[in-house]
Structure 1
Amino acid sequence: MVKVLLLDPRVAGVSGDMLVGALLDLTGLTDIVNLVVDAVRDVSGCSDFGVKIYDVRKSGLRAKRVEVLCPSSEEERSGREVIELVNKCCSATNLSTRAREYAIAVVKELVEAEAMVHGISVDEVHLHELASLDTVFDIVCSAKLLDEMGVFCEGYRVYTTPPALGSGFVKCEHGLLPVPAPATLEILRRHNYRYSMADVPYELTTPTGAALLVHLTKHIVDFYPGMRVERVGYGAGARDVEGRPNVLRVVEGSIADICEDRVVVLETNVDDVPGEFIGYLVNKLLSQGAIDVVVLPGLGKKNRPVHVIKVLADVGNYRDLVELLMREVGTLGVRVSELSRVVASRVKVPIDVVIKGRKFTVTVKISRAPSGQLLRAKPEYEDLRRIAEETGLAIKDVYEEVIRQVRAKLQELDTGIG
């Protein structure tokens, strides 16, 4: 079983304090907050810096709220200074190498995005003191909590749903700007990150939240992956949003290796499309990245003969294939479902064989069960055809001899063939 963390910001977006709150609610590791607060105080010289943690209710859901307490100040810190603060806090909190790299990447992302949208250099970026210390705490505390959970260990998988951005306007230093904030949009653009929209007149995903998210995972899913749920946490945002809970939900669980492969199944019925057009569609779907396409005959409304078109697609590109289906055959609806697929491990290896006294190299596709047991060894057709043409043997005879020799070699390697 492999550990999995899912973030779900598609309802209320993500911010730094929401992520910290959700991870605290999930883990209960409140001592980490004290550790990070002490580090921020020490490296910043702000002895009055503090954090308040308490439970709130958002649209009926209990969630953990994290509120930074710091006296107001008109002082500013440069982007370089904020990066250095994060670096020093990473050392003070004893982050692992990968957690430190994550935290530094996040703060650099923020500073570089601000520089880009303002058309200035990184050295010219400045943040108000309160905002900078809040940002430092959110980044370092998130990294430390994730580190303690083992998220940065090899094999741990992280997924997210598309973050909701919100709408309306956000008050910035230079006045009102439409949501998303320019820095948030720049971060999403730089990483080609898919988001979702929510008809809420507030900013839901902040620049800090976006930076934390894009560096944590590239796996954006529309459906929860099939897993065994172990812990759930809720982190609350500051304001109350009418009609939806202003919370970030995080889910930790485990997933079997055999369920790692997630696929989307697209299905639609057509009853007025010529067979030639459907054949063209099949080729077009495959050329555009479909894993497989199956066309089944059926009986539809009023006993009309129909074709049921089923497409197996990757989670990342199924939307393009939906559009292709609608455009090519004029279907008005496509059924979409995401499923776990049990997949045998498959590798191609070159194996030498001797046919009629001559040595040939054949590429063999070897499939194994999740347990490692060998399931199948299949030689490539093109290699069989080449040997048949060069030796004058029937291709079926070549296949049988190649399989016999491949079996013997695999048994010598003590793999068995089941």
Structure 2
Amino acid sequence: MVLIIDPQNSGIAGNMLGGALIDLGCNPKEMKSVMEYMAIDFGGVNVRIKKVNKAGIESTFLEVETINNKSHNNHSISYKELLSKLNEIEEIELKKNNSVFGNNLINDVFDISRKVFKRIAISESKIHGKTLEDVKFHEVGAADAVADVFGAVFGFCKLGFNEKNEKVIGLPIAVGGGSIESVHGRIPVPAPVTLDILSKNNISSFGGPVNTEIATPTGVALYVELCDEFRDFQPTIKVNKVSYGAGKKDFDFPNVLRLIKAKSSIKSQSIDVIETNIDHLSGESIGYLFEKLMDEGARDVVIIPVIMKKNRPGNIIKVISKKEDTDNLVSVLFKETGTLGIRVSQDLHRGVANVRFISLEIDFDGQIEPINFKIGATGDEIISYRPEFEDIKKIAIKHNISLNKAFEIANFKINEYLSNL
């Protein structure tokens, strides 16, 4: 399954995400219990959950009201103190037989929530010029922020989106505009912390459509932590369910965060593409480079002949790479080619068919020969099937038949096999 977080219309905040997850199916009483329980040591909150209509869109509003604004842990807590308190609560919950989180979700909920707060803390420390341990949260450590984060993460895990076979995709974020009042005085929108979190993760965002803040630091930190990848457009999907979480403000358009639960008919991968132009290497050197790049982790290498400046023949070396291998492959290209420049296109998406292998035993002149076939499919539809070349080659030589004849017999048998499925 795929979950798409869509903040293109009205941005994102912690309570909007929590409301959308309730709208998607999370038990509202369970989320309310988690939020109110987690906020106790930070001043406490009252949580009210209700259906509202935002400019024509029926949605779920998660209203969080702080009880004790004078609590030290509400507006003056440091990141170090916050972590210590969260670790303490986690230890208590792990010892219970009837945790408010459900015993199988405790570790995931606390781990993800800590990562959310760490993202905010790192950006806060950078903005204010302080160490991570010294930075104090004016809002992030507050009761309502703790409640928002743990409520949203609980709902996310409760619905199973933390599982490895689930993919979460984030669409571009509307951030609002203008300026807002803060404890530091008037600041521009998006807030400095929000902008830093966005910039660190190369996330697409845009101003408007209103002159106020609609993407909060907490909401953006949750978005970045929960998403597996970020796209400018919705991928090819089959929609299962759509939900809406309401924001507090009323505009002349629906102030809602949309979640789309869907089934993806095509798997996708995020890749980098590395390119450089060369006109000084011999054919032997290019052949060596091809093998070297593949050995160093390239997913694929393409050599494209071109005419370069001064009408000289040359080649474009194009390498498809996993993100974790890009730096090493760039280093290999510099070292082996002596090129003075390399282009890297990051975070490109490629569709990937589901691939499986089967083996069929096929009669060739009274002798049974095993042949391996590669089957490609998107969803439930088979789009390609072909025998492994080395198997066909071996059979053609062994039985003294043409390669085409061996392919013909193999393809007939795989067609017969697939038609009987």
Same fold per superposition (TM over 0.5)? yes
Classify the secondary structure of the residue corresponding to 1:124. coil
The equivalent residue for 1:33 is 31
Distance 1:107 1:87, change over 3 A: farther
The equivalent residue for 1:223 is 233
The equivalent residue for 2:187 is 177
* 2:373–2:385 Cα contact (<8 Å) kept: no
The equivalent residue for 1:80 is 80
2:118 matched to 1:108? yes
5 Å-filtered alignment, 1:116-195, equals 116-128=126-138, 132-195=142-205
Name structure 1 gaps, 5 residues minimum.
Answer: 264-278, 290-313, 319-339, 348-363, 388-392
1:252 to 258, 261, 282: 261
Take 2:144 and 2:136, find their aligned partners in 1: how far apart are those partners? 14
Take 1:159 and 1:284, find their aligned partners in 2: how far apart are those partners? 36
* 1:239–1:246 Cα contact (<8 Å) kept: yes
Take 2:406 and 2:222, find their aligned partners in 1: how far apart are those partners? 53
Structure 2 counterpart of 1:172, one-letter code: S
2:63 matched to 1:64? no
Distance 1:83 1:131, change over 3 A: closer
Aligned residues: 322
* 2:20–2:257 Cα contact (<8 Å) kept: yes
The equivalent residue for 2:291 is none
* 1:8–1:160 Cα contact (<8 Å) kept: yes
Distance 1:248 1:342, change over 3 A: same
CA deviation string 1:247-304 (max 9, x = no partner): 101121333xx422499xxxxxxxxxxxxxxx989x9999598xxxxxxxxxxxxxxx
* 1:187–1:210 Cα contact (<8 Å) kept: yes
The equivalent residue for 1:298 is none
Task: Give the superposition deviation at 1:74.
Answer: 6.7
Distance 1:96 1:33, change over 3 A: closer
TM-score, length basis structure 1: 0.64
TM-score, length basis structure 2: 0.63
Distance 1:100 1:40, change over 3 A: closer
CA deviation string 1:39-97 (max 9, x = no partner): 2255x064x52112223332222222222222332731111222334445554534343
Take 1:27 and 1:199, find their aligned partners in 2: how far apart are those partners? 29
2:50 to 25, 36, 54: 54
Classify the secondary structure of the residue corresponding to 2:174. coil
Report which stretch shifted further, 137-146 or 74-83. 74-83
Structure 2 counterpart of 1:162, one-letter code: P
* 1:26–1:232 Cα contact (<8 Å) kept: yes
Classify the secondary structure of the residue corresponding to 2:212. coil
Task: Give the superposition deviation at 1:160.
Answer: 1.8
* 2:77–2:141 Cα contact (<8 Å) kept: no
Task: Give the superposition deviation at 1:223.
Answer: 3.1
Percent identical among aligned pairs is: 27
Take 2:110 and 2:23, find their aligned partners in 1: how far apart are those partners? 23
Take 1:159 and 1:179, find their aligned partners in 2: how far apart are those partners? 24
The equivalent residue for 1:331 is none
The equivalent residue for 2:3 is 5
1:20 to 3, 14, 18: 18
The equivalent residue for 1:271 is none
Task: Give the superposition deviation at 1:238.
Answer: 1.6
Report which stretch shifted further, 8-17 or 52-61. 52-61
